Amino acid sequence: MIKQSALTPDTAAFREIVPAGEYFLKVVKAGETVRILDLEGNQAADTLFYNAHNPIERYSAVDTIREQGNVYLTAGSKLMSSENNVLLEITADTCGRHDTLGGACAAESNTTRYALEKKCMHSCRDSWLVAVTEHEELGMSKRDLTHNINFFMNVPVTADGGLTFEDGISDAGKYVELQAAMDVLMMISNCPQLNNPCNGWNPTPIEVLVWS
Amino acid sequence: MLQSSAPLYDDLIPRGSHWSFIMRRGHVLRLIDETGNANVGMLMYNPENPLERYNMPDTLKNQHTFKLTSGHVLLSDMGRVFASVIRDDMGWHDTVSGTCNADMVAQRWGRKTYQQAHNHYHRNGFTSFLNELAKYGLGKKDLTANLNWFSKVTTDDDGKLSLVSGASHAGAIVDLRFEMDTIVVLHTCPHPMNTATDYPGHPVRYQFFRAAPVTDADPCRLSSPEATRAFANTALYHLFQ
């Protein structure tokens, strides 16, 4: 569902551009709104959320889609935690549909999906592994890298049980906005994948904006 | 694809219960829906390094599928095959709906404690998984998207999810051939989208068989280029054995 935001970038309390292949970590406080902006179009933002005070409670893709009764995320979707609490709600969305079944790319999944010799290409799960090891204060590890949201990614599921990665439906300037229902830690990998259309074959920067 | 028709072991998991064991590579786990309408929640880990675990997104996207049935492989997050689905009498199993938790079970079917009902108390899938995971030093951080054998969940063109009632039948079989040693965690608690009036309680029979050797022409190995490469990764893992 397309829903515009009333917020304007000039009133944002925080703005940062995240290049493709980088990770981004930030706590978003309860009540704050965070926007992820697709600057150049067709860019997958692989995103995980945690309860900022207890990261054992984390985003749960399966609980989120089951509780809303739909596999796609858009405006109105409540992102559920592994403890059945609402982490955030999508309050605006100019893309219309986001994926949470496709997971994140990894060195190992690159070997099976594309070719065994692609294992050393950069991947989202590698970005997250670096994020948790560079931030030991978070007390997180590979065990915390669970099934994520792929903002701006188009993974249609068909009535006969098919699932494919299609060309993105996002474009330059499209965004998704979420309001935090509790203090959440947001961990993004701006996807470096070069082997499928999720980034339009050309990974590009995103911008993260936060309004207090 | 079984080496013999007589099981090495045969057992029943009662309704609303949980259990776990280690499957060794080259063996088949047969799940049998004893009464029809069963649901079997399942998670998998590598006993050598439990950080390697069943990965729902990798399993689905590698095989371009939303459902699981015979010919599919169940992948770990390390690009290897835990198990191949070598027989399926039902055609469509769910791995995207998660599992029921204590609040859900209490709201839908009422709270029934051990004190009230002894071993017919209302267990839930979330606690059941944690109960078994703790036996291997694992816990909440290790919970991932699980399989729900014998439960069929479909979508329509708009992505709306539905649990198809009565999709399984008494005697329906799923055979999983293990390609790696695997910690298998199971529960027989209700599917989280089940809206039956009474707490759905269906036992599941499980059996172990020795598997026939996996040939180069194995249908699961050849089911997709992605599966073939996952078998290659698995063979590399066993290179020194």
**pLDDT tens-digit profile of A3-54?**
999 999 999 999 999 999 999 999 999 999 999 999 999 999 999 999 999 9
* Angle at the Cα of A112 from the Cα atoms of A109 and A116, rounded to 5 degrees: 105
A117 touches chain B (CB under 8 A): no
Q: State which amino acid sits at residue B19.
A: W
**Could you say which DSSP state residue B20 is in?**
E
Q: Which of these, B225, B230, B163, B228, lies nearest to B190 by C-alpha position?
A: B163
A85 touches chain B (CB under 8 A): no
pTM of this structure: 0.97
A179: in domain: yes
- CB-CB neighbors (< 8 A) of A165 in chain B: 61
Q: Which of these, A78, A98, A94, lies nearest to A5 by C-alpha position?
A: A94
Question: What pLDDT, on a 0 to 100 scale, did the predictor assign at position B2?
Answer: 83
Q: Is the ipTM, as predicted for this complex, more than 0.95?
A: yes
Q: Grade residue B5 by pLDDT with cuts at 50, 70 and 90.
A: confident
- CB-CB neighbors (< 8 A) of A161 in chain B: 65-67, 92, 154
- Length, in residues, of chain A: 212
CA separation for the pair A167, A87 (Å, rounded): 29
A6: in domain: no
Does residue B130 carry a pLDDT above 80? yes
A90: in domain: yes
Q: Which of B67, B98, B140 sits opposite A62 (nearest CB)?
A: B98
A82 touches chain B (CB under 8 A): yes
Interface touch A159/B51, C-beta < 8 Å: no
A147: in domain: yes
The chain A residue lying nearest B228, using CA atoms, is A112
Question: What pLDDT, on a 0 to 100 scale, did the predictor assign at position A201?
Answer: 85
Question: What pLDDT, on a 0 to 100 scale, did the predictor assign at position A151?
Answer: 97
Q: Grade residue B43 by pLDDT with cuts at 50, 70 and 90.
A: very high
A8: in domain: no
Structurally, chain A folds into a number of domains equal to 1
A3: in domain: no
3-class SS string, B120-175: HCCCCHHHHHHHHHHHHCCCHHHCCCCEEECCEEEECCCCEEEEECCCCCCCCEEE
* Owning domain of residue A76: 13-211
A62 touches chain B (CB under 8 A): yes
A179 touches chain B (CB under 8 A): no
Contact residues for B241 (Cβ-Cβ < 8 A; gap 6+): none
A59: in domain: yes
Q: Which of B56, B75, B160 sits opposite A70 (nearest CB)?
A: B160
A2: in domain: no
Burial (CB < 10 A; 0-12, 13-18, 19+), residue B91, is middle
pLDDT digit string (tens) for A103-146?
Answer: 999 999 999 999 999 999 999 999 999 999 999 999 999 999 99
